[in-house]
Amino acid sequence: MPETVIDQAAAAGLVRELQKSLSGDVLALGEPGYDEARAIWNAMVDKKPAVIARCATTEDVVSAVNAARNHGLQVSVRCGGH
């Protein structure tokens, strides 16, 4: 699957939009905690998403998916644990 490229201004706009609507954390490239949040068990995979939305509620999930769709971004879901 091809990676989506998003410019920094668009990413910043998306981050601001999500920060207003999500109760969970929103992280962008270069922010503290970003690299830890994007790390997965398979170190051979090194993806750098434009934005990481750490949804805390069902409403957060809806807002994050809608924002990604509005900005033409693909969504990837990762489980937070057991």
Q: What is the model's pLDDT at position 72?
A: 82
Q: Select from 69, 45, 66, 59 the least CA-distant residue to 78.
A: 45
The class that CATH gives domain 8-70 is: alpha beta
Q: How many residues does the chain have?
A: 82
d(C-alpha 39, C-alpha 34), whole Å: 9
Q: What is the model's pLDDT at position 1?
A: 45
Q: What is the share, in percent, of the chain residues with pLDDT greater than 90?
A: 38
Q: What is the model's pLDDT at position 70?
A: 87
DSSP-based helix, strand, coil % in the chain, nearest 5: 40, 10, 50
What is the H or E stretch that residue 9 is in?
Answer: helix 8-21
Q: Where are the domains of the chain?
A: 8-70
Residues of the chain with pLDDT under 70: 1-7, 80-82
